[in-house]
Amino acid sequence: MSEVRAQITGVVFKIEKQVGDSVEEGEAILILESMKMEIPVESPVSGVIASVAVAIGDSVVEDQVVAMLG
């Protein structure tokens, strides 16, 4: 399992991938909004989304785990 972590503090604006979806390294899993900017949270490796630990509107802090890849 690989952890996907937020690079910044922000609010979950959009979730691009759901549990069971395949992702490639560098592909956006979700979008955070911070200081009126949209910042993608990208997959660190290729894999399948095992879990998403946040929902739209949730606040996240830098380095928080937001998803797991299987």
Predicted structure pTM score? 0.92
Name the one residue in this structure whose structure tokens are 């922000």.
10
**Alpha-carbon span 28 to 40, nearest angstrom:** 6
Per-residue confidence band for 56, with pLDDT thresholds at 50, 70 and 90 = very high
Structural domains of the chain sorted by starting position, each given as residue range(s) with its CATH number in brackets? 2-69 (2.40.50.100)
Name the one residue in this structure whose structure tokens are 């946040």.
54
pLDDT tens-digit profile of 24-50? 999 999 999 999 999 999 999 999 999
Question: Per DSSP, which regions of 1-70 are E strands?
Answer: 2-5, 10-15, 22-23, 28-34, 37-42, 47-52, 59-60, 65-69
**Mean pLDDT score, 55-59:** 98
pLDDT at res. 23: 98
Q: Is 66 left (phi over 0), alpha (psi -120 to 50) or beta?
A: alpha
